[in-house]
């Protein structure tokens, strides 16, 4: 009898589920409505037309003549100017920081100069340096400080000097003002021999020539270390002196390697390494514990580069990075600004006035002053307001 009731319950459950499914299938489907606002027409998403490269009256190349902020480049030929433009154009379809790895080496190897960036540095670098000197003279403690403490205080002075500037581009102004090389060709020979990417990788680790790096085969940097070995800027595996390999191990690893010798575990690494160097089969013991192919050690530059100061190269490339950042940010901002101007002119009847939107609290005093104004609809504000400006134009 119980089985019969169970079968009846299952039957009515199936009937009820079929009814619900049938009812749901007849439910009215609401149409999907899409609303488009703020002039986002098809043309709004097209890459801005910044114009073809053209020569300037003073022998340079204007790489974006149709932009609201034309940029003039010196020190390169017409072909190189077009190559530079092609790199910068990628910023419209990729992120700016995706383009910089290609742009920075181009600037470093071509030694190009940008008129608008140089004009900014010429005007504001003396103001920046003067302010720092004033702060040093006004500081009672400065003359008595050690070099390390002076460097610590100098960080505060630099920031105060930057904050005092009326116009502040979006970049590291310390690098832009202080790291410009006296000789822009300082890195030319290294770049010709090794290329920018490999040298940048080498220089960032060149202060650790005695360090043994343990780099597994699947490590991201493995390809760079192997290229350094090919260029004789590093040695690998068994070519590395045994004492350096042992020093790369932890004290625990060292004690495990000689655990079968029934010795008291070492508590000082120097003593442990000194002893291990006397063990006859130490190389074989190490091979059982570590993969020698994973070991790399940088080598000094060849003697022909002895006159090159790697710290100076490093600073020069930091300066170049800021130049590249200013160049692409201004190029992209100027392109978008011109496109927006042309597009919004079609809708003047619906606009009351224009306003400048700054980058917020980090905006420079110059931009903040101009942002306080309201611009009639027949007076469209011209942005970027300066090199490296992040201001935008909006409407009311």
Domain range summary for the chain, segments of one domain joined by +: 54-185+311-327, 210-299, 336-395
Q: pLDDT value at position 289?
A: 85
Kindly list the strands in the beta sheet with 72-74, ordered across the sheet, starting from the edge strand earlier in the chain: 54-55, 61-62, 72-74, 113-114
pTM: 0.83
Contacts of 224 (CB under 8 A, 6+ apart): 198, 201
Q: How far apart are CA 389 and CA 381, in angstroms?
A: 13
Distances (CA, A) of 49 to 44, 46, 68, 180: 12, 9, 11, 32
Strand (E) or helix (H) holding 106: helix 96-110
Contacts of 152 (CB under 8 A, 6+ apart): none
Q: pLDDT value at position 261?
A: 84
Runs of H (alpha helix) within 139-187: 147-163, 173-178
β-pairing verdict for 213-214 and 54-55: unpaired
Contact predicate 341/66, CB 8 Å: no
Q: pLDDT value at position 45?
A: 61
Instruction: Count CB neighbours of 84 within 10 A.
Output: 23
- Which positions of the chain have pLDDT values less than 50? 1, 3-4, 6, 8, 19, 21-44
What angle separates helix 196-203 from helix 222-230, to the nearest 10 degrees?
100
Q: Nearest Cα to 275, choosing from 254, 299, 297?
A: 254
Instruction: Count CB neighbours of 202 within 10 A.
Output: 22
Q: How far apart are CA 212 and CA 58, in angstroms?
A: 52
First to last CA, the chain: 80
Q: pLDDT value at position 345?
A: 84
Q: What is the DSSP string of 252-284?
A: HHHHHHTGGGTPPPPS-HHHHHHHHTT-TTHHH
Q: How far apart are CA 265 and CA 109, in angstroms?
A: 54
């Amino acid at each position: 009898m119980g089985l019969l009731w169970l079968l009846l319950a299952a039957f009515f459950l199936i009937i009820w589920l079929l009814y619900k499914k049938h009812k749901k299938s007849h439910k009215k489907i609401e149409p999907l409505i899409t609303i488009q606002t703020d002039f986002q027409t098809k043309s709004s998403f097209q890459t801005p037309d910044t114009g073809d490269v053209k020569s300037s009256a003073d022998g340079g190349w204007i790489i974006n003549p149709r932009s609201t902020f034309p940029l003039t480049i010196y020190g390169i030929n017409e072909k190189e100017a077009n190559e530079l433009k092609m790199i910068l154009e990628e910023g419209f379809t990729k992120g700016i920081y995706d383009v910089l790895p290609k742009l920075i080496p181009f600037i470093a190897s071509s030694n190009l100069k940008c008129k608008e960036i140089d004009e900014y540095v010429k005007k504001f670098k003396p103001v920046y340096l003067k302010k720092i000197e004033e702060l040093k003279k006004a500081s009672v403690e400065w003359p008595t400080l050690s070099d390390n403490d002076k460097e610590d205080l100098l960080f505060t002075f630099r920031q105060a000097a930057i904050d005092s500037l009326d116009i502040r581009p979006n970049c590291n102004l310390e690098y832009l003002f202080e790291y410009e090389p006296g000789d822009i060709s300082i890195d030319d020979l290294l770049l010709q021999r090794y290329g920018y990417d490999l040298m940048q990788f080498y220089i960032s680790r060149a202060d650790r020539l005695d360090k043994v790096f343990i780099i597994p085969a699947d490590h991201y940097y493995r390809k760079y270390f192997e290229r350094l070995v090919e260029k004789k800027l590093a040695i690998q595996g068994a070519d590395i002196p045994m004492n350096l390999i042992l020093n790369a191990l932890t004290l625990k690893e060292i004690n495990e390697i000689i655990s079968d010798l029934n010795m008291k575990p070492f508590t000082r690494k120097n003593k442990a390494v000194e002893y291990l160097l006397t063990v006859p089969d130490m190389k074989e013991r190490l091979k059982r514990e570590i993969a020698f192919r994973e070991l790399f050690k940088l080598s000094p530059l060849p003697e022909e580069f002895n006159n090159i100061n790697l710290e100076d190269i490093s600073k020069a490339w930091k300066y170049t990075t800021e130049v590249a950042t200013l160049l692409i940010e201004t190029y992209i901002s100027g392109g978008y600004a011109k496109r927006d101007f042309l597009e919004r002119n079609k809708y003047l009847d619906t606009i009351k006035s224009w306003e400048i939107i700054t980058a917020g609290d980090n905006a420079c005093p110059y931009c903040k002053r101009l942002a306080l104004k309201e611009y009639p609809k027949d007076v469209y504000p011209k942005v970027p307001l300066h090199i490296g400006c992040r201001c935008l134009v909006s409407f009311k």
